[in-house]
Amino acid sequence: MAQADLPKGTAVIGQSGGPTAVINQSLVGVVEGLRGGLQRSGHVTKVLGMRNGVRGLTDGRMTDLTNIDQAMLDRVSHTPSAALGSTRDKPDASYCGRIFESCRELDARYFFYIGGNDSSDTCRIVSEAARAAGYDLRCVHVPKTVDNDLMGNDHTPGYASAARFVALAHMADGMDNAALPGIKINIVMGRHAGFLTAAAAAARHEEHAGPHLVYVPEVPFITDRFVQDVASVYDKLGRCHIAVSEGIQDKDGVAIGALLMGEEKDAHGNVQLSGSGALGDQLANLLKAKLTPAGGKPPRVRADTLGYLQRCYPDASPVDAREARMVGVHAAQLAAEGKAGVSVNLVRKSTIGPNEAYECVAEHQPLEAVAAKTRHLPESYIKGHSDVSQAFLDYVTPLLGALPPFELLE
Amino acid sequence: MAQADLPKGTAVIGQSGGPTAVINQSLVGVVEGLRGGLQRSGHVTKVLGMRNGVRGLTDGRMTDLTNIDQAMLDRVSHTPSAALGSTRDKPDASYCGRIFESCRELDARYFFYIGGNDSSDTCRIVSEAARAAGYDLRCVHVPKTVDNDLMGNDHTPGYASAARFVALAHMADGMDNAALPGIKINIVMGRHAGFLTAAAAAARHEEHAGPHLVYVPEVPFITDRFVQDVASVYDKLGRCHIAVSEGIQDKDGVAIGALLMGEEKDAHGNVQLSGSGALGDQLANLLKAKLTPAGGKPPRVRADTLGYLQRCYPDASPVDAREARMVGVHAAQLAAEGKAGVSVNLVRKSTIGPNEAYECVAEHQPLEAVAAKTRHLPESYIKGHSDVSQAFLDYVTPLLGALPPFELLE
């Protein structure tokens, strides 16, 4: 039931940052949550979608979602990428001024922003600026990121589907590598956190299945050690299947990929790591050069960069689809309870273990707890310098949905 | 019914060339076809799988498939990549000698080889050498290739699943490009033929959906024209989504990718085009350089190389899975009918058109008709210099299986 002291006006919803396979589930969840709550109680009189996040809000590009029909919402929910469009804009003081101007014009009182840590920071900035200006704007952040690097979340909506894609890709590509033996590198998304790369390890469906080596940003990447690791597996199996995070760093914390990629940065100061094959190609060339026997032929080395398909391939994890919808609905419910300046988070209620039934619920935390912070793979999920632990596999397996039963002829 | 004058002995089966999502369907098809035919009639007394194609045959690495159980076969059939392992070896005269030696030792009389045009050439060489040596070896080639470049086939098993992946990838990635507008290049497999790249056009689910430009090897790639094409779409839509074949060539027939990639060649003289992001990165850098306004910021340009997932992603087209099994069964049936030195081919019996019910059957052609030849996109499937025709879309659509209904919020 909505509280009596809630403001009355328009609700605005935006999507921000990199799209995912299920971010539209969250959008639809907010719309449905409002319908069942603040819209029914009369506090929300209009629901507007911002085109390209806060940019559309300031440009006056909005989509009216007040009476959008349920069949359309269902189709949108199954469509990957951001149905309202996304943005990487980060508002400064003058940008915030334009946002309030727009909010006043629209009589906006509820502000829902779906995105990752940069987007939660946008939500925090808008929320604090509104408070300072004495404008009653109820801001709720809805989590989303394939990187799984939001603080205070067991995992974030979007991660499980991306992890499913990475696991399936490595399962199938590992079979390809077994059929035509050689050295194969796959570069996986994840600017600072190794969660997505780690999910490649879920591809190991039998004893010798790849990936044989897994490199995450949390462990310093030492080139010579990498070459030795690969040589050792290659000598033993006649092949080597490798998952490497795009965000691997040297021992001084300098991203190996960024060193190769030049200077392009977004508004949040992030260097471009995705959308290029340079890191994989450099590592492949390194291995060819170092592992060619004297007077012999170089080994067969290939590199693929899994690229944007990781965040948009239309085969969502069913768990992820359900939870992404749930966090959207919960955001609307929080607003109806009078909560503001908060971020929805996913909290696992079940114990992590190979035989535990999985249960996860939506709760909330202060925006400050998540905004512009980065969660990393905990040490307990890392094994040595080139693998993940069983604890990580127990953590990630329930998120992925069913994986196909592959069969080998030995 | 098997003919009376057939030799009695062992059947050997091999897989060769790049794996696909459904090549194991064909392997299982041959095994099942033999069980229902030559094995039942007593002509085939043993069924052996070559590990890594002819290489395993000469090395004595064989897997006994004579009594493999059906449940195992079913699981193998749904597993992507080559369950017996693959090879890119091409036998010369002395290699052929070792093949016969192995065949004599195994009392092999039936030789089934599943692969593309290089593999059909291997099959032809073995078949002719056997005839010259007076050794009764019945060779049947079973078609397979994601490139769809085998002569005399409406399409080849493996193509439809790869085309499905390319279409789904472009659907989803096109939505991503619409959400965060910029210029996006996807590099698609296809050394000489543009069929797989052309399938990207099946991703266009609405008027402005990408890919907006499609570049195939059959049309000379002119760099300046490419830059103009992109600029024109970008000016109009504020974004541009582009599918480019890894095999694009300049007007002298020199592969643009090969020029960048160095000199690594396989045993068939093919330069490495896959397993590197170099072509996409070069094209992206070119566009950034040419499309940066004077004194302004470069446009957002990204490139992904879809890579090996195109040939192994475990989401086979149902049509492809069925047909790949069918060509395997048919190969065994042809041998039972006394046919040898032939290649199975897929022949479409239905008319190609938007409202036609699809029907395709397995027939056969002489090995010489297909061996080491390359089929290209017919002119009628090409539209201008940067698109495919409606006739191509009518051709490819029945092969892909159902594509998800995406919905946009406009």
Rounded to an integer, the average pLDDT of A197-207 is 95
Residues A207 and A235 in one domain: yes
Residues A358 and A391 in one domain: no
Please tell me the distance from the alpha carbon of residue B203 to that of residue A3, in angstroms, as a whole number.
Answer: 47
Residue A410 lies in a domain: no
* pLDDT (0 to 100) of residue A270: 56
Return the residue matching tokens 């992603």. Answer: B313
Nearest CA among B44, B113, B129 for reference residue B342: B113
Residues B186 and B295 in one domain: yes
Q: What are phi and psi of B212, to 5 degrees?
A: -80, -20
B237-281 per-position pLDDT tens digit: 999 999 999 999 989 888 887 665 554 555 555 555 566 788 998
pLDDT at residue A308 greater than cutoff 60: yes
Residues A206 and A325 in one domain: no
Residue B404 lies in a domain: no
* pLDDT (0 to 100) of residue A102: 95
- Tell me if A309 and B169 make a contact (CB, 8 A cut-off): yes
pLDDT at residue A287 greater than cutoff 70: yes
Rounded to an integer, the average pLDDT of A62-76 is 96
- Tell me if B19 and A176 make a contact (CB, 8 A cut-off): yes
SS3 A74: helix
Residues A46 and A105 in one domain: yes
- Tell me if B277 and A276 make a contact (CB, 8 A cut-off): yes
Taking the CA atoms of residue B6, residue B10, residue B15 and residue B16 in that order, the dihedral angle to the nearest 10 degrees is: -80
Residue B409 lies in a domain: no
* pLDDT (0 to 100) of residue B275: 64
* pLDDT (0 to 100) of residue B274: 61
Q: Please give, rounded to a whole number of angstroms, the shortest distance from the CA of B169 to a CA of chain A.
A: 6
Residues of B in contact with A181 (CB under 8 A): 85
Q: Which amino acid is at B229?
A: D
Return the residue matching tokens 């395997």. Answer: B328
B107-159 per-position pLDDT tens digit: 999 999 999 998 999 999 999 989 998 999 999 999 999 999 999 999 999 99
Question: Residue A281 catalytic?
Answer: no
Residues of A in contact with B63 (CB under 8 A): 409-410
Digitized pLDDT (tens) for each residue of chain B, 410 residues in all:
567 689 999 999 999 999 999 999 999 999 999 999 999 999 999 999 999 999 999 999 999 999 999 999 999 999 999 999 999 998 888 898 899 899 999 999 999 999 999 899 999 999 998 999 899 999 999 999 999 999 999 999 999 999 999 999 999 999 999 999 999 999 999 988 999 999 999 999 988 999 999 999 999 999 999 999 999 999 999 999 999 999 999 898 888 876 655 545 555 555 555 667 889 988 998 999 999 998 899 999 999 999 999 999 999 999 999 999 999 999 999 999 999 999 999 999 999 988 889 999 999 999 999 988 899 999 999 999 999 999 999 999 999 999 999 988 87
Rounded to an integer, the average pLDDT of A342-355 is 94
Rounded to an integer, the average pLDDT of A217-237 is 96
Residues A33 and A112 in one domain: yes
**Whole-number mean pLDDT of chain A?**
93
CATH code for position B93: 3.40.50.450
Residues A290 and A331 in one domain: no
Say which of B63, B176, B304 has its CB closest to residue A409: B63
Contact present, B257 and B278 (Cβ < 8 Å) = yes
Q: Domain tally for chain A?
A: 2
Say which of A15, A63, A304 has its CB closest to residue B307: A304
Residues B394 and B267 in one domain: yes
Residue by residue, DSSP assigns B322-372 as HHHHHHHHHHHHHHHTT--SEEEEEEE-SPPSTTPPP-EEEEEEEGGGTTT
Q: Please give, rounded to a whole number of angstroms, the shortest distance from the CA of A343 to a CA of chain B.
A: 23
Contacts of B184 (CB under 8 A, 6+ apart): A275, A308, B173, B176, B177, B210, B239, B240, B241, B242, B301, B302, B303, B304
A138-164 per-position pLDDT tens digit: 999 999 999 999 999 999 999 999 999
* pLDDT (0 to 100) of residue A274: 61
- Tell me if A314 and B404 make a contact (CB, 8 A cut-off): yes
A23, A63, A81: which to substitute to probe chain B, counting the most B Cβ within 10 Å? A81
Q: What are phi and psi of B362, to 5 degrees?
A: -95, 130
Residue A199 lies in a domain: yes
Residues A133 and A249 in one domain: no
Q: B244 is in which domain, residue-wise?
A: 163-313+378-399
pTM: 0.95
Residues B177 and B285 in one domain: yes
Residues B320 and B308 in one domain: no
Residues of A in contact with B280 (CB under 8 A): 276-277
Q: Please give, rounded to a whole number of angstroms, the shortest distance from the CA of A99 to a CA of chain B.
A: 20
CATH code for position B217: 3.40.50.460
Q: Which amino acid is at B88?
A: R
Residues B124 and B192 in one domain: no
B61, B266, B268, B409: which to substitute to probe chain A, counting the most A Cβ within 10 Å? B409
A31, A288, A292, A304: which to substitute to probe chain B, counting the most B Cβ within 10 Å? A304
- Tell me if B75 and A280 make a contact (CB, 8 A cut-off): no
State the catalytic residues of B: 147
**Whole-number mean pLDDT of chain B?**
93
* pLDDT (0 to 100) of residue A278: 86
Residue B360 lies in a domain: yes
Q: Please give, rounded to a whole number of angstroms, the shortest distance from the CA of A47 to a CA of chain B.
A: 14
Q: Which band of pLDDT confidence, cut at 50, 70 and 90, is reported for residue A260?
A: low
Q: Which band of pLDDT confidence, cut at 50, 70 and 90, is reported for residue A222?
A: very high
Active-site residue, from A89, A147, A149, A320 = A147
